[in-house]
């Protein structure tokens, strides 16, 4: 039985562009930046887990619960404009409550391992999909207080399914192949006839592939490793209205990573790509803004993360990271970037540590989630005006530049 908690204080300074005159709908439309600051304390993670063997060493299990995870807050879906002849200008649909207090219990991991043969083992239940290297590192072993923006965007995280996995006796070559619902943890069941599939191959030096990040966990000698993975899922959303045609959303992702470990330093690089194909433009995610503007039914996204750290003495680690996402490679100014510098002081290894980090996030004016993106949507019934169509429509509108300072403590029992 184990337990760990992460408690943090964070200070966020962020841009918030708004229209100076909300009633003005014809360009040029002046804007102003009402930059704001938020300060908050947060129990980022509070988890309890159980793991062990069921009578045989090759028959093991894990159960992990999140005592503060809350995914029931306010949600927003952007429905893009359709045929101009209809006069429909697009709308933001919101549901849920903003004032959720986070008090909930959420099942994260619940799986059974049948690993009698090193080369051919089976995992059944709910667990992380083996795609996206950062996501596979345990939360309490991360090198920085949080994962990169690229990992959050491209990695599918947990789902329910079955997986075959194994490796050679020396661990140099490994594989993972699985089938999952393709819904993540959003719903308890898959409500269409298609599943999600994943395949991953790893290669490493003696000792096998290590899902670690912190220099504290690096091997005593030089160690190199790499992996490639493929993930594919097809979703057929159920329609609430019989007047809306039924179509498919096809989501294919690729990822590759390379890690170099020394005794007191490491270098980690991860690359991601994602292609989404739909039958109808209203099924395209809001991150694919360019597809909305150009009437495309396909969207290609790419991203990467480069991260490195150095261990000073036995208790101090300094790490840095750069991460970038190109939401849609056929439109400009929709990239998102992250630059983070972090320091960790280990009082007792990962069991008791304090980390501090400074992050700078930049969001392009055409990137979903930026205030510049919101400014361009306008307020119905006004028709949206886009910089991609009218470059001078919003004088003074720039990319969002947000700064996040985090101080986080972790303890494990």
What SS3 string covers 140-197?
Answer: HHCCCCCCCHHHHHHCCCEEEEEEEEEECCCCCEEEEEEEECCCCCCCCCCCCCCCEE
Number of structural domains found in the chain: 1
Say yes or no to pLDDT of 16 above 50.
Answer: yes
Predicted TM-score (pTM) of the model is: 0.89
Average pLDDT over residues 249-267: 96
Q: What is the C-alpha separation between 143 and 261, in angstroms, rounded?
A: 13
Average pLDDT over residues 20-31: 86
Report if residue 151 sits inside a domain: yes
Above pLDDT 70, what percent of the chain?
91
Name 100's Cβ contacts closer than 8 Å, sequence gap at least 6.
Answer: 70, 72, 73
Task: Kindly state the tokens that stand for 412.
Answer: 């494990």
Report residue 25's pLDDT band, with 50, 70 and 90 as the boundaries.
confident
Q: What is the DSSP string of 304-332?
A: EEEEEEEEETTTEEEEEEEEEEES-TTSS
Report if residue 193 sits inside a domain: yes
Report if residue 376 sits inside a domain: yes
Q: What pLDDT sits at residue 75?
A: 53
Say yes or no to pLDDT of 74 above 50.
Answer: no
Report if residue 212 sits inside a domain: yes
Q: What is the C-alpha separation between 360 and 372, in angstroms, rounded?
A: 17
Report residue 381's pLDDT band, with 50, 70 and 90 as the boundaries.
low
Element (H, E) at 7: strand 2-14
More confident residue, 329 or 114: 114
Report if residue 372 sits inside a domain: yes
Average pLDDT, the chain: 89
Q: What is the C-alpha separation between 363 and 276, in angstroms, rounded?
A: 21
Give the residue ranges of DSSP H helices in 341-403.
Answer: 371-377
Average pLDDT over residues 352-372: 94
Report if residue 185 sits inside a domain: yes
Name 10's Cβ contacts closer than 8 Å, sequence gap at least 6.
Answer: 38, 39, 40, 42, 404, 405, 406, 407
Report if residue 88 sits inside a domain: no
Q: Are 343 and 317 in contact (CB under 8 A)?
A: yes
Task: Give the domain CATH number at 399.
Answer: 2.40.160
Q: What pLDDT sits at residue 111?
A: 97
Report residue 297's pLDDT band, with 50, 70 and 90 as the boundaries.
very high
Q: What pLDDT sits at residue 264?
A: 92
Structural domain span for residue 191: 11-43+120-412
Does residue 119 sit in helix, strand or coil?
coil
Report if residue 403 sits inside a domain: yes
């Amino acid at each position: 039985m184990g337990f760990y908690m992460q408690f943090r204080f964070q200070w966020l300074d962020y841009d918030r562009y708004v229209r100076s005159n909300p009633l003005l709908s014809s360009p040029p439309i002046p804007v102003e930046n009402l930059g704001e600051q938020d300060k908050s304390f947060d129990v980022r993670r509070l988890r309890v887990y159980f793991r062990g063997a069921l009578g045989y060493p090759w028959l093991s299990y894990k159960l992990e619960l999140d005592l503060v995870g809350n995914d029931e807050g306010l949600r927003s879906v952007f429905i893009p404009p359709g045929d101009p002849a209809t006069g429909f200008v697009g709308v933001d649909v919101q549901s849920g409550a903003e004032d959720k207090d986070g008090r909930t219990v959420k099942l994260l991991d619940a799986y059974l391992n049948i690993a009698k043969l090193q080369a051919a083992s089976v995992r059944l239940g709910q667990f992380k999909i083996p795609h996206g290297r950062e996501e596979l590192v345990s939360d309490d072993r991360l090198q920085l207080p949080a994962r990169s923006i690229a990992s959050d965007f491209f990695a599918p995280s947990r789902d329910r399914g079955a997986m075959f996995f194994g490796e050679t006796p020396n661990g140099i070559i490994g594989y993972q192949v699985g089938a999952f619902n393709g819904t993540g943890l959003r719903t308890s069941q898959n409500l269409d006839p298609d599943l999600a599939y994943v395949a991953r191959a790893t290669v490493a030096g003696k000792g096998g592939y290590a899902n670690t990040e912190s220099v504290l966990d690096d091997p005593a000698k030089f160690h190199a490793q790499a992996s490639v993975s493929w993930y594919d899922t097809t979703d057929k959303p159920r329609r609430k209205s019989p007047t809306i045609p039924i179509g498919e959303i096809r989501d294919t992702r690729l990822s590759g990573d390379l890690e170099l470990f020394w005794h007191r330093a490491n270098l980690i690089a991860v690359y991601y790509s994602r292609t989404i194909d739909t039958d109808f433009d209203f099924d395209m995610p809001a991150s694919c803004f360019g597809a909305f503007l150009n009437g495309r039914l396909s969207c290609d996204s790419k991203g990467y993360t480069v991260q490195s750290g150095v261990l000073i003495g036995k208790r101090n680690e300094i790490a840095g990271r750069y991460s970038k996402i190109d939401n849609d490679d056929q439109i400009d100014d929709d990239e998102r970037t992250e630059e983070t510098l972090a320091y960790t002081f280990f009082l007792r290894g990962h069991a008791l540590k304090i980390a501090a980090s400074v992050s700078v996030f930049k969001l392009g004016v055409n990137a979903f989630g930026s205030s510049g993106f919101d400014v361009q949507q306008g307020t119905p019934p006004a028709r949206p005006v886009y910089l991609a169509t009218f470059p001078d429509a919003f004088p003074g509108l720039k990319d969002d530049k947000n700064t996040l300072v985090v101080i986080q403590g972790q303890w494990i029992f």
